[in-house]
Amino acid sequence: MDRKRRLIICALFLMLGITPLLLMSQKLHWQNFLPFLFDVDITRYDQHILEVSRRHALDHRLIKALIRAESRFDPLAVSPRGAMGLMQLMPETARDMGVADPFDPRENIEGGARYLKRLLNRFNNDLTLALAAYNAGPQTVTRYGGVPPYEETRAYLKKVMRFYSDYRNET
């Protein structure tokens, strides 16, 4: 079924009011419709995320939330500032983390997790500061002595933490 047809079907469900009933009766979350709507396989990388999370002593749900916030699981995503891949690694960060091909999902997840772990160590396991540094850069967080007063960074923190909460509540 092509994307246009899926969107039409979903629009019809929404117009008919069936979707809210399905969501409530089956305890589904709206994000479960993302794969159907946008051909996004949000479980495609789960096994690798689990392996990487164990290797770096990180919660796999946090890595998955970060990927969702950064690229919506698009391994070929490129930001306007040049961040690449699933975890949106900047070219210099990718090099520093030993990532030869930032568009290779396995390398990108490995490098992104390694970078997140480095930030957590730098900021004494303060998740908020580490995530702010992932978004705005560690020097910026250090310069401001906390979360920088950037709307983009504050919105990013809310998004990642909301996704992280969603994944923790699923299991």
Helix or strand holding residue 83 (H, E): none
Phi and psi at 74, nearest 5°, equal -95, 110
Question: Which one-letter DSSP state was computed for residue 33?
Answer: G
- Orientation of helix 105-122 relative to helix 127-136, angle to 10°: 120
Encoded tokens for 88: 């949106």
Between CA 65 and CA 86 the distance in angstroms is 11
Residue in 51, 70, 92, 110 annotated catalytic: 70
Q: Is 70 a catalytic residue?
A: yes
Question: Which one-letter DSSP state was computed for residue 158?
Answer: H
Between CA 103 and CA 126 the distance in angstroms is 29
| Cβ count near 49 (within 10 Å) | 23
Catalytic amino acids? 70
